[in-house]
Amino acid sequence: MMNIRKATLEDAKAIASVHVESWKTTYKGIVPSAYLQELKVAEKEELWKRILQQDHHHIFVAEEYGTVCGFISGGNNRVKEGTLAEYEGELYAIYLLKEAQRKGYGKKLVSAFIKDLWNDGIRSLIVWVLNDNPSKHFYERLGAAVVGEETIEIGGKALKEICYGWKELEQLL
């Protein structure tokens, strides 16, 4: 049984666990293994406790039989200049445990998230994705277009990140 619901402060540890575990499986071979090995649930739990208390941060969890197996997080666009600043919202993170992938949970998380953004007056959206992340095709299937790119550094390695955008969120409602 699957359920999508708004996250609460009590979900911080479960979200942190999904965050760390999904990074270790999704980014294996992309991000340096030493960096992935250093990821700690306790540190991410503190981060998520702070995030879950922020205003205008939209966070939902996916549960499978009552256990959190994924989450989505986002809010206002953090890009403040250039053409990407035209987009009102940003999807900061969406992660599912490996065993919860390819079951439709990602689409359901995006749907709940988009409705929440829409209710907050946000009508366009971007998301940054590592170019080597095979999950980037998920956004393409949802109708996103590549609207930008940059190079970032994770664990001492330069990685290409691409930005997908939706000018009209109405298409995802």
What ranges do the domains of the chain cover?
2-122
pLDDT exceeds 90 at position 159:
yes
Class for the domain spanning 2-122: alpha beta
The reported pTM is 0.96
Query: pLDDT at position 171, please?
Result: 86
What is the residue-wise DSSP string for the chain? Answer: -EEEEE--GGGHHHHHHHHHHHHHHHSBTTB-HHHHHH--HHHHHHHHHHHHTSTT-EEEEEEETTEEEEEEEEEE----SSGGGG--EEEEEEEE-GGGTTSSHHHHHHHHHHHHHHHTT---EEEEEETT-TTHHHHHHTT-EEEEEEEEEETTEEEEEEEEEES-GGGG-
Q: How confident is the model at residue 15 (pLDDT cuts 50, 70, 90)?
A: very high
